[in-house]
Chain A
Amino acid sequence: MGKRVLLIEDEPNIIEAISFILSRDGWTVHTHEDGVTAMEKVASMPPDMIILDVMLPGRSGFDILRDLRSQEISKDIPIMMLTARGQDKDRELALRLGATHFMTKPFSNGEVRDHVRNMIGA
Chain B
Amino acid sequence: MRQAAVAEAAGISASYLNLIEHNRRRIAGKLLSDLARILGVDPSLLTEGADSDLLDQMRSAATFTGDMVEIARTEELAARYPGWSQLIAMQARRLSVLEERVRALQDRMTHDPQLADALHDVISAVTSIRSSASILVGQEELDADWQSRFHQNIHADSVRLAASSEALITYLEVPSMEQDVGTSPSEQVERQLGKTAYHLAPLEDPSADLARFVTASGLKGAALQLYERVAKQYQADVAAIPLADFEPLCIASQYDPFTIADHFDVSLDTVLRRLASLPSDGQHPPMGLMICDNSGTALFAKPVPGFTLPRSGGACPLWPIFGAFSRPAQPIRQEVLVPDAAASRFLCHAIALPVGTSRFDATPVLHSTALIMPDPPQAAADPIEVGVSCRICPRSACQSRREPAIEGVTNQSVL
Contacts and interface: CB of A to CB of B under 8 A. Distances in A.
A17 interface: yes
B119 interface: yes
- Residue from the set A84, A107, A108 with the largest chain B CB neighbour count within 10 Å: A84
Contacts of B156: 13
A21 B131 contact: yes
Contacts of B209: none
B124 A17 contact: no
A89 B262 CA distance: 57
A16 B149 contact: yes
Nearest to A82: B127
B225 interface: no
Contacts of A106: 123, 126-127, 130-131
Interface of B is mostly: helix
B128 interface: yes
Contacts of A108: 130, 134
Given A105-B124, A106-B126, A18 B131 contact: yes
A interface residue count range (under 10 / 10 to 19 / 20 to 34 / 35 or more): 10 to 19
B153 A105 contact: no
Nearest to A109: B134
A96 to B, nearest CB: 20
B134 A11 contact: no
A108 B126 CA distance: 11
A105 B123 contact: yes
Interface string B130-159: 111011001010000010011001001100
A20 B120 contact: no
A35 B155 CA distance: 27
A13 B128 contact: yes
Contacts of B130: 106-108
A14 B133 CA distance: 12
A81 to B, nearest CB: 14
Given A13-B153, A20-B146, A84 B128 contact: no
Interface in A12-30: 13-14, 16-18, 20-21, 24
Interface in B95-128: 116, 119-120, 123-124, 126-128
B157 A55 contact: no
Nearest to B128: A13
- Residue from the set B131, B138, B149 with the largest chain A CB neighbour count within 10 Å: B131
Contact of B140 (A11, A24, A55, A85): A24
Nearest to B110: A87
A3 B126 CA distance: 29
A13 B156 CA distance: 9
A24 B153 CA distance: 19
Contact of A109 (B119, B126, B131, B153): B131
B131 A14 contact: yes
Interface in B253-306: none
Contact of A17 (B119, B120, B126, B128): B128
A82 to B, nearest CB: 9
A55 B117 CA distance: 10
A10 to B, nearest CB: 9
A109 B123 CA distance: 15
A108 B138 CA distance: 12
B22 to A, nearest CB: 52
Interface of A: 11, 13-14, 16-18, 20-21, 24, 55, 84-85, 105-109
20 contacts: A13-B156, A14-B128, A14-B131, A16-B153, A17-B131, A17-B132, A17-B153, A20-B135, A20-B146, A21-B131, A24-B140, A55-B120, A84-B124, A85-B116, A105-B127, A106-B126, A107-B127, A107-B130, A108-B130, A109-B134
Interface of B: 116, 119-120, 123-124, 126-128, 130-132, 134-135, 138, 140, 146, 149-150, 153, 156-157
